[in-house]
Amino acid sequence: MSKNRQGAFVVQQSVSLSVEIPEELHISVQHYLDVHSGWSQDRLFVQRYRCF
């Protein structure tokens, strides 16, 4: 549990997702992660979904 800017407690929840993606996208993601070792699959998808 953490506090927001107003000092109220906020309960953070997480959701686990399992999705099917095209093989071509999977290969591209794996290549990107191989080249950029500082990134993880989770971090990559979180950044992608923040754009929505």
User: Which domain covers residue 37, as residue numbers?
Assistant: 21-52
Model pTM score: 0.59
Q: Tell me, yes or no, whether 14 lies in a domain.
A: no
Domain count, the chain: 1
pLDDT string in tens for the chain (52-residue length): 677 677 888 777 888 878 899 999 999 999 999 999 999 998 998 888 887 7
Distance CA 23, CA 35 (A): 18
pLDDT recorded at residue 12: 75
pLDDT recorded at residue 1: 65
Q: What are phi and psi of 48, to 5 degrees?
A: -65, -45
